[in-house]
Structure 1
Amino acid sequence: MDLEFQRVLLKVQESLTGDEVQDLVFLCSDLLSLKDLCTVSSAGQLFSLLEKRNQLSCEDPSLLLELLRIMKQNSLIRNLTSDDYKQTNGTTYSQQISPYRQLLYERSESICEQDLQNIKFLLLKTLSRKKLEKDTPSALTLLSPVGIMEEQVDRLSLTEGPALISGDQCQNLDSNSVIENKSLNLSVTSQNTEIQQYEMKGDRRGFGLIINNYDFRACTLGNREGTDIDKERLEVVFKWLGFEVLVEQDCNRHQILQVLRNLAARDHTPADCVVCCVLSHGRVEGICGVDGEIVTFRELIETLSPNECPSLCKKPKLFFIQACRGNDNQPAAFPQTCSEDEDMLFSDAAVPRDSIPEMADYLLAMSTVPHYVSYREKGRGTWFIQSLCHSLQLLVPRGIDLLSILTQVNSDVSKKTDKSGLRKQMPQPEFTLTKRVVFPPPKSHRPLP
């Protein structure tokens, strides 16, 4: 029976590609040590390690079948169970791959090339440029424990004398880390990876400003049908979160800046943070006022800088921007002709590409990536704002942090399309947050229905 089982493993090994072997390694990350995983370059090596630790055998092949099931190798499972190996004892085996690993794997399968580039951007301060510039086949390669171990080894400088570690090189090691260069044994103690949270214990959560631009009759831009639906949903959700919501309607360039200056002039000492939602048209260089004049990205956020508003220093300043970031002539970006009684898609073209100023504690969650439009439905509001509100309502009570919530928003919006199947949208958060943003539902506010 052992020989037959080895033939089964050999058939599996021959059927898997290099990328699929890396997927297997990731899924088994909780079952084997990092030291062992770093040596794996083929499915056969992985199976041998699992057999040595009695986690895989001819008597209990459940782990193999579970791995193939997660990876959707259904035809291979059918061949194995029908031709090479049959379970005759009817035993039900317990699940060995954690739901967390399965979730990450399933998410990675739905990540497109643009998503992968966004992940690399978010990991700029976590992984080395050398690793990020590699021809990475999947997000799992970046996030796997093996990748993390390789990253730590790359950061170390091994010398014949005492170990020399620069400030950048030792940022992932604690003070008890030791390098014994004669035997090249690397001992890295576990590091407390808990990320601090911004305090959310103030007398009130803070101000939530909504700038809702609908009426553009003063310029050549069209009115933004459906934006009031977004405004009303944002107002309900942020009041539920404990914010004192301020709504400003149809602001021109001067009024947008003045409203933000007025917000900066308020005393935010008892508040935890501030939120600013801007719903408007836009162009490449900035957000449009209802007069068609531009407020640049930098102008928008610098009104709440520590110099302009000291009481917001070291507190999160959260901007949610519903506007396009370009209007390039791409086939999937423009509305098609449809009947008048049909919900139409509109585009708001486009927020600026200015980079985030070098100041901490900012988040800019934008409805789309650079150079693309974002969509608004006349009877339902925008894809981005409606998904944002739904995700906040669903995930805040579970203690999920804001960046994770925005990742869910990215996932939800990326799956949306119109009836033609041609129009797509990908939101993009940019941030200089130094801690996690976790909203506790205020005790004085009942959950939304």
Structure 2
Amino acid sequence: MTSNTEKEMELKFQRMLFKVQESLTGDEVQDLVFLCSDLLSLKDLSTVTSAGQLFTLLENRALLSIEDASLLLELLSIIKRKSLIRSLTLDEFMPTDGTTYSQQISPYRQLLYELSESICEQDLKNIKFLLLKTLSRKKLERDTTLLQLFLEMEKEDLLDENKLENLQKIIAEINPSLEKRITQYKTERYESGGMLIAQEIGDITPVPYTHTSPQVLTSLTSLTSVDVEGEVDRLSLTEGAAAISGDQSQHVDSHSVIENENLDLTVTENGDIQQYEMKGDRRGFCLIINNCNFKSLRRREGTDIDEGSLKGVFKWLGFEVLTKQDCSSHQILQALRDLAARDHTRADCVVCCVLSHGRAEGIVGVDEKIVTYRELIENLTSNQCRSLFKKPKLFFIQACRGTDNQPAAFPPIFSKDEDTTVSDAAVPRDSIPERADYLLAMSTVPHYASYREPEKGTWFIQSLCRNLKLLVPRGSDLLTILTKVNSDVSKKTDKSGVKKQMPQPEFTLTKRVVFPPPKTPPPLP
């Protein structure tokens, strides 16, 4: 019986590996090859053309097995294949003796991969030009990828985890904001014991990398969040409009941090922040995902009012509006993939509005499965959609981020049975974009509910539409408008005077978003 069970598990394991193999693109396979270049010999890796070949090498080295598939989990997490991870049965192939999952891909290797994901085609051409006197022309051919260049630099002893100066100089000339990421890596490595700096002299003595790094794979369902006091995901967004617009914005989440090194604000000679260009042939696409009818959750009465308001305002602003109703989790992600597949070359920006129930993990589809905020936005990164490179990607999210109510500062006056305000509770710890030029305008701060009036729509969306119509003609930038939305919504309450709501914009914008004032009057309410 035991033998049959073992054979069944072995067959299931091989089926899982086959599913991963069939799901990965050729480029993703080469990404995995690069990430494994510290674990396997370059000679063996040079012949790998499929994920199956790579898995065989890892199995032969006892790095991947039916007893421990944590390396596969780590690799898929690094290349951001979250939906694939969720579709697998990886938990069946993890150690059951209480062993923690140690980080096997070094932070150095992950840094290089992260840099490659942030470099556009033109930047790669510039890097190759700067390496003309260092590497042979054959190694700088047109189809050579940045990861292949890194490997060539390592072969020439121009690059390793203790020798980043050459790469840092090149990146500094190409993309200063990415150069700061290398500096950040050096700092983190020093602080974690990776470098010993001699007192006063400044000599740097390398310490070998060990596999005792902090745990990075804490669960199969939350691979990108850190929920430990004192630790915050380094990809956190700047929170609150005050960071750019100069206006005041309530800052509530005590676990959030401002990472200025991730923002490369373009300024003019007199110190003013520049604006994104809004001179394209068209403003862009606006996708509205409106979920009303759920399998067992309460129907979102009044959401059609929000959809109508958003349609009217964004058409008035010059957007081509696309709408999707009652989407499952899969359909939400497919709608984003379809949006990314469109040509945005002549567009100024892109907008996505999501109206749905929300839970701690993210947005809820009508099938009541979760779509995390990271999944929501990752399809529109510049790597996934080149025509959106350096263009603002604007998300407006109407959903709860928890079930707590924000109480007012005075006692209730009316009885609860007179209250017709409904909560959308059903916060995203991982609602963290990894690229520049993003805005996520959230209807509420983490852990709290947001409110919807069946006859009037939601407080947040209605305030957003009203203030866009009021302030765009005055030339106000989007963050200033969202600050006004914050102010308006913060003053609202239910009839009992108990429930309160505080919206929260999060962004990695590098310029001001200013919509050109339309020549026509704003749409009627």
Fold equivalence (TM over 0.5): yes
Q: Is the contact between residue 286 and residue 350 of structure 1 (CA under 8 Å) also seen in structure 2?
A: no
CA 1:343–1:231: 2 relative to 1, 3 Å: farther
CA 1:434–1:416: 2 relative to 1, 3 Å: same
Q: Percent sequence identity over matched residues?
A: 71
Q: Is the contact between residue 283 and residue 350 of structure 1 (CA under 8 Å) also seen in structure 2?
A: yes
Displacement of 1:265 in angstroms is 0.3
The residue aligned with 2:451 is 375
CA 1:368–1:330: 2 relative to 1, 3 Å: closer
The residue aligned with 2:367 is 291
1:398 equivalent among 474, 482, 485: 474
Asked if residue 125 in structure 1 is aligned to residue 200 in structure 2, the reply is no
> Could you say what the CA RMSD is over the residues aligned between the two structures, in angstroms?
3.3
Distance between the aligned counterparts of 1:122 and 1:331, measured in 2? 25
Distance between the aligned counterparts of 2:251 and 2:362, measured in 1? 26
Q: Is the contact between residue 325 and residue 353 of structure 1 (CA under 8 Å) also seen in structure 2?
A: no
Q: Is the contact between residue 343 and residue 378 of structure 1 (CA under 8 Å) also seen in structure 2?
A: no
2:377 equivalent among 296, 301, 320: 301
The residue aligned with 2:300 is 224
Q: Is the contact between residue 253 and residue 446 of structure 2 (CA under 8 Å) also seen in structure 1?
A: no
2:506 equivalent among 430, 435, 439: 430
The residue aligned with 1:238 is 314
In the TM superposition, 1:323-362 aligns within 5 A as 323-328=399-404, 338=416, 344-349=420-425, 351-362=427-438
Q: Is the contact between residue 290 and residue 326 of structure 2 (CA under 8 Å) also seen in structure 1?
A: yes
Q: Is the contact between residue 317 and residue 363 of structure 1 (CA under 8 Å) also seen in structure 2?
A: yes
Displacement of 1:338 in angstroms is 5.0
1:115 alignment partner, SS class: coil
1:263-313: CA deviations, max 9, x gaps?
000000010000000000010001000010000110000011111111111
Q: Is the contact between residue 241 and residue 441 of structure 1 (CA under 8 Å) also seen in structure 2?
A: yes
CA 1:259–1:350: 2 relative to 1, 3 Å: same
1:207 equivalent among 280, 285, 289: 285
Distance between the aligned counterparts of 2:430 and 2:383, measured in 1? 20
Distance between the aligned counterparts of 1:327 and 1:393, measured in 2? 31
Displacement of 1:442 in angstroms is 3.5
Displacement of 1:349 in angstroms is 2.0
Q: Which runs of 5+ in 2 are unaligned?
A: 1-241
Q: Which runs of 5+ in 1 are unaligned?
A: 1-103, 127-170, 175-189
CA 1:377–1:258: 2 relative to 1, 3 Å: same
Distance between the aligned counterparts of 1:277 and 1:194, measured in 2? 29
The residue aligned with 2:326 is 250
Asked if residue 193 in structure 1 is aligned to residue 271 in structure 2, the reply is yes
Partner amino acid, structure 2, of 1:222: R
Displacement of 1:125 in angstroms is 3.4
Moved more, 255-264 or 346-355: 346-355
Count of residue correspondences: 275
Distance between the aligned counterparts of 1:384 and 1:261, measured in 2? 26
Distance between the aligned counterparts of 2:257 and 2:518, measured in 1? 30
Displacement of 1:373 in angstroms is 0.2
Partner amino acid, structure 2, of 1:200: M
Distance between the aligned counterparts of 1:320 and 1:257, measured in 2? 16
The residue aligned with 1:62 is none
The residue aligned with 1:271 is 347
Report the TM-score, using the length of structure 1 for normalisation.
Answer: 0.56
Distance between the aligned counterparts of 1:359 and 1:117, measured in 2? 23
Distance between the aligned counterparts of 1:299 and 1:441, measured in 2? 33
Displacement of 1:123 in angstroms is 7.0
Report the TM-score, using the length of structure 2 for normalisation.
Answer: 0.48
Distance between the aligned counterparts of 2:490 and 2:375, measured in 1? 29
Q: Is the contact between residue 405 and residue 500 of structure 2 (CA under 8 Å) also seen in structure 1?
A: no
Displacement of 1:357 in angstroms is 2.8
Distance between the aligned counterparts of 2:373 and 2:255, measured in 1? 23
Displacement of 1:344 in angstroms is 1.1
Displacement of 1:119 in angstroms is 12
1:272 alignment partner, SS class: strand
Distance between the aligned counterparts of 1:357 and 1:416, measured in 2? 29
The residue aligned with 1:153 is none
